[in-house]
Amino acid sequence: MTAESAEKSQELCNLHALSNLSQDGLAAHYIVQLLDKFSHQGPNGTHQCLVFELLGPSVAYMIEDYYLDGVKLEPECILRISEQLLQATSFIHGAGLAHGDISSRNIAFTCNNLSDCSDEESLLKVVGPPEIEPLARIDGAPLRPGLPSQLVKAAEWDDWIDEYDEDIRLLDFGQSFTQGAEPERIAQPGALRVPETIFTDRFDYRLDLWRVGIAIYSLVRGGLPFQQFFSDNELVAQMINFVGDLPAEWQQQYKDMCLKAGREPVQASSENNS
């Protein structure tokens, strides 16, 4: 982030607010610890840099790795991760804040076991060797000033086997906000959208609960409960099939949405409504 935007950074302000409320440190509440911050003068201006604790792979990476091989997580691991995520969310809400962007990609494991890696070779065995590619223009022209000369691929965590021993950390507070001072809009990947933002212009801290539910579902099933390839009405239809009927105040709007799209509204099954 630029230094100018850092002065107004909700992420920085809210992390400080959470830290001030925690006598035992944010790690006790499974929230990433901010260790330091500094400004860096670069070719594109002055940037505010945030230094966080060293973390392992994301929960999303671990889920993809497991289920790609047809292996399911042990129930004990799912319960432990879910409990820690709920504790982190509860602490944030109790502080009068909302995270705003909870997903398995914004949850990472601690990596305390890396302290046993006594040399570079043993460390790289766990995280994988760095993959570096030079950056070049397709037309062969020189790179403009300010662009890096090479790109480094993210760690692969080839030999990571510590998900049963490590805790989690909830991170990326870039969309966090104060309860009662919600932003006008919030960025959401399509399949993670909360229904309030489809039918109204209003949302609050409870959007975190919907997103926590999706994250826990991903731990159990290895994927998302909803997919959005096309339109909002199709996403809503999946929600109805999965959760049950919409609240009464949204049902007419959903019918109008389907009529406009030339589709029949979906009715929840009796099993979902029971």
Domain boundaries, the chain: 8-39+48-120+154-178
Structural contact between residues 24 and 126, judged by C-beta atoms closer than 8 angstroms = no
For residue 268, give Cα distances in angstroms to 193, 216, 274. 19, 23, 10
Q: What is the DSSP letter of 201?
A: S
- The residue length of the chain stands at 274
Q: What is the DSSP letter of 31?
A: B
CATH, range 8-39+48-120+154-178: 1.10.510.10
- DSSP run (H or E) holding 126: helix 120-127
Q: What is the pLDDT of residues 133-192, one digit of tens each?
A: 999 999 989 988 888 889 998 888 877 778 888 999 999 999 999 999 999 989 888 899
Residue 215 clears pLDDT 50, i.e. is over it: yes
Name the nearest CA neighbour of 212 among 35, 92, 115, 36. 92
Residue 82 clears pLDDT 50, i.e. is over it: yes
Distance CA(133)–CA(80), nearest Å, equals 38
By DSSP bridging, strand 45-52 and strand 168-170 are unpaired
Q: What is the pLDDT of residues 99-146, one digit of tens each?
A: 999 999 999 999 887 777 778 887 888 888 888 999 999 998 998 888
Residue 39 main-chain phi, psi, to 5 deg: -100, 140
pLDDT (0 to 100) of residue 272: 59
pLDDT (0 to 100) of residue 3: 46
Q: What is the pLDDT of residues 226-247, one digit of tens each?
A: 987 778 889 999 999 999 999 9
Distance CA(23)–CA(73), nearest Å, equals 33
Residue 20 clears pLDDT 80, i.e. is over it: yes
Of 236 and 201, the structure prediction assigns the larger pLDDT to: 236
Query: pTM of the entire structure?
Result: 0.87
DSSP bridge partners of 37: 50
Residue 25: alpha-carbon gap to chain centroid? 21
For tokens 């840099």, the residue is 49
Structural contact between residues 79 and 139, judged by C-beta atoms closer than 8 angstroms = no
pLDDT (0 to 100) of residue 7: 47
Residue 239 main-chain phi, psi, to 5 deg: -60, -45
By DSSP bridging, strand 132-134 and strand 150-152 are antiparallel
Q: Which residue type does 86 have?
A: L
Residue 117 structure tokens? 């890696």
Distance CA(179)–CA(181), nearest Å, equals 5
Q: What is the DSSP letter of 245?
A: P
